[in-house]
Homo-oligomer: A and B are copies of this chain.
Amino acid sequence: MPRISFGSTVRQKRVERQIGLREFAKQIGVSPTYLSKVERDEFAPPAEDKVVRIAQLLELDRDALLALAGKVASDVQDIIRRHPVETASFLRSTKGWTAERLAAFVKDAARKHKA
């Protein structure tokens, strides 16, 4: 499990926004009981669509929250599967990179794509 868990992050942000557990559960589309256990990491994080909904409601980055949930967005997985060999190779080569270095590459990629 990551240093900071999915559950505790959700709880912190939800409480910060003063949304009740029942109210929030309703907005996500799950039972309050379930949400309670998820927030205390007694249950594993919910399915992708629920995680995405939570990210929207709490204004968190969906990819970041999915990562906390131990998942990778399904659209991203689809992209990887289009060119799995090249993509996997690239990703493995970035294994030791910092977020900053990666961010620079993203910029570069976007620029080159336009050209």
Q: Residues of A with Cβ closer than 8 Å to B?
A: 61, 63-64, 66-67, 70, 72-73, 75-77, 79-81, 83-97, 99, 102-103, 105-106, 109-110, 113
Q: How far is the CA of A76 from the CA of B97 in the complex (A)?
A: 14
Most chain B beta-carbon contacts within 10 A, residue among A66, A79, A113: A79
In the assembled complex, which residues on chain B have CB atoms less than 8 Å from the CB atom of A72? Answer: 72, 77, 80-81, 84, 88
Pick from B61, B88, B102: contact of A87, CB below 8 A.
B102
In the assembled complex, which residues on chain B have CB atoms less than 8 Å from the CB atom of A76? Answer: 80, 87-88, 91-92
In the complex this chain forms, how many copies of it are found?
Answer: 2
Q: How far is the CA of A72 from the CA of B70 in the complex (A)?
A: 14
CB distance from A106 to the nearest CB of B (A): 4
CB distance from A108 to the nearest CB of B (A): 9
In the assembled complex, which residues on chain B have CB atoms less than 8 Å from the CB atom of A103? Answer: 86
- Provided the pairs A86-B106, A106-B89 are in contact, do residues A95 and B81 lie with their beta carbons within 8 angstroms? no
